[in-house]
Amino acid sequence: MPDPERQRFLKLGAFFHPTGHHVAAWRHEGAQIDAGTNFEHYVRLARTAERAKFDLVFLADAVATRDGNLEGLSRWPQYMAYFEPLTLLAGLAAVTRHIGLVSTATTSYNEPYHIARKFASLDHISHGRAGWNVVTSSNASEAFNFGRDAHYGHAERYERAEEFVDIVKRLWDSYDDDAFVRDRAAGRYFVPSRLHYLRHQGKHFTVRGPLNVARPPQGYPVLFQASASDTGKDLAAKIAEVIFTPLHDIEKGQAFYRELKDHAARFGRGWDDLIIMPGLNPVVGRTRAEAAEKQRHFQSLIHPDVGRELLSNALGGVDLGGVDIDAPLPDHIISPEQRRTDARISYLFREQLTVRQMYEKYGGARGQRTVVGTAEDIADQMQEWFVGRAVDGFLIQPPHLPAGLDEFVEQVIPVLQERRLFRTEYEGATLRENLGLRRPPSTYAGPGPAAPREGA
Ligand SMILES: Cc1cc2nc3c(=O)[nH]c(=O)nc-3n(C[C@H](O)[C@H](O)[C@H](O)COP(=O)(O)O)c2cc1C
């Protein structure tokens, strides 16, 4: 039974990677092969997820193609050709009514004004369903598209991100919620004192403001964050409302859950102000044997060039050029010390695996957890983690799309609903309401630092 003290249902996001999350998904007969630039495909996915009462759809992003060996890249189309996600979500907003629309956007290669404006617009277009996944860019090749010859250093990235998010929030507050009186008779559209000029001058940005969009319906679109390092976790504890992170075992999940929520409390935030939602890659079968066979089939579709590339990325860009894929990874490539202590990769070294087995293990969900089994098996795992307070929900990463989402919706969702772990109707009108997050007041509301005003 679910924990009786816990009022909330599991939170569920549907993470759409064009053809699916499995690295070889595009070769599977259940995947839409031209998915990256097929709008109707996404419409179908979003409507399926909404019918199942998912909280949100989630899109990752990069502002570059992946770099690497062209042989490998040509066999692995993920992030090579796909829609700009905010444009896509604006299209999806028009064909859905309830589901949240969350996109990744980097603080490394954007300007705060642009991001504030676009997400505020999406929040209005969708009537309060927008979310922003704040990232600092994992893909160094993005630098080359923005006048730089190298990616920002780690510390600078996070410093920039913190200043960036602060500006964006305050730009969203440019107009008070009640600024627009639109009084035809008096000839007044908005109240001048309810418009605020930011006049920000910081280390990385200078922004005068105000934003030329009304305050978003949710106050602020919901802020997501995904990162693994201590600096990343610090930023998450300060600003994130939903944390998306890879978690592989329940004890580490429970420790991460407590750590992040306690850390957030140090910034004056409550436990419920922060939702932890790791990725989960479900491979569903009518029987365990069918699920295992399905997974075996996915793995058999990974071309060895792709496997090497994938594992090299997972291990931080090591060279696997001449490595025998049917033998264990030589010690000189990743030291025994790093195998034990690096949380991002240690799960790959828990058993003695060959290189092929390692890339297969990683490839299923590109670093996130895979659960292979029947609908009941998958629901059991989700329940155990939720009731055990290792998570508040999951970002479901179907291995192939649309088939993997259909299977999850048809088979796993009803089991979760029967167990009263998941809603049968949306509770609220906005993404915030469905996630149980409060609507933030404007920084200019009530007591607080007086804001400089134009003409004042
Ligand atoms: C689960 C997860 C998802 C991420 N998704 C994206 C993404 O879609 N786009 C992106 O540019 N960076 C993404 N990142 C990268 C982070 O923003 C960050 O750059 C990366 O994790 C390295 O920083 P760190 O060492 O602090 O973790 C993701 C990171 C994690 C852990």
Residues in contact with ligand 1 (CB, 6 Å cut-off): 60-62, 104, 106, 135-139, 226-229, 231-232, 244-246
- Between the CA of 125 and the centroid of ligand 1 the distance, in Å, is 27
Please say if the pLDDT value at position 3 is more than 50. Answer: no
**Helix pair angle (250-265, 230-239), 10° resolution:** 60
Polymer length of the chain: 456
Question: 300 CB contacts (<8 Å, ≥6 apart)?
Answer: none
Going by pLDDT thresholds of 50, 70 and 90, the confidence category of residue 447 is low
- Residue 185, pLDDT above cutoff 90: yes
What is the average per-residue pLDDT within 39-45? 98
The pLDDT score that the predictor gives to residue 220 is: 98
pLDDT tens-digit map of 137-171: 878 899 999 999 999 999 999 999 999 999 999 99
Taking residues 391-397, what's their average pLDDT? 97
Res. 454: pLDDT tops 90: no
Residue whose CA lies nearest to ligand 1 atom number 28: 226
Structure tokens at 228: 């693994």
Ligand 1 atom with minimal separation from the 61 CA: 8
pLDDT at 446: 75
Within 13 A of 205's CA, how many CA atoms are on the CB side?
Answer: 25
Average pLDDT value for residue range 231-239: 91
Q: What are φ and ψ of residue 10, in 5° steps? A: -55, 145
The mean pLDDT of the chain is 92
Q: Are 61 and 85 in contact (CB under 8 A)?
A: yes
Residue 345 near residue 310, CB atoms below 8 Å: no
Element (H, E) at 15: strand 11-15
Pull the structure tokens for residue 223: 């802020």
pLDDT surpasses 60 at 381: yes
Give pLDDT, residue 314. Answer: 84
Beta bridge mates, 105: 134
Task: For residue 279, give the ligand 1 atom closest to its CA.
Answer: 1
Query: For residue 61, how far is its CA from the centre of ligand 1 (angstroms)?
Result: 10
Q: Rounded to an integer, what distance in angstroms lies between the CA atom of residue 242 and that of residue 432? A: 11
- Average pLDDT for residues 200-217, to the nearest whole number? 98
Å from CA of 449 to ligand 1 middle: 34
Note the helical H segments in 74-138: 85-93, 112-125
What is the CA(141)–ligand 1 centre distance, in A?
14
Domains of the chain: 11-288+369-435 (3.20.20.30)
Q: How confident is the model at residue 331 (pLDDT cuts 50, 70, 90)?
A: confident
The pLDDT of residue 211: 98
Closest Cα to atom 15, ligand 1: which residue?
A: 138
- Identify the band that residue 212 occupies on the pLDDT scale cut at 50, 70 and 90: very high
Pick the range with the lowest mean pLDDT from 94-98, 316-320, 330-334, 363-367: 363-367
Mean pLDDT of 277-298: 96
Ligand 1: which of 225, 227, 342 to mutate, most ligand atoms within 8 Å of CB?
A: 227
Model pLDDT, residue 361 = 83
Distance (Å, rounded) from C-alpha 311 to C-alpha 348? Answer: 10
Q: Residue 61: pLDDT above 60?
A: yes
Calculate mean pLDDT across residues 74-92: 95
CA distance 133 to 104: 4
Residue 364 pLDDT > 80: no
Out of 16, 89, 108, 135, mutate this one to test ligand 1's pocket (max ligand atoms within 8 Å of CB): namely 135
Ligand 1: centre distance to CA 138 (Å): 5
Give the number of other CB atoms < 10 A from CB of residue 204: 15
Lookup result for tokens 């000839």: 187
Per-residue pLDDT at 20: 96
CA of 442 to the centre of ligand 1 (A): 29
How much distance in Å is there from the Cα of 134 to the middle of ligand 1? Answer: 9
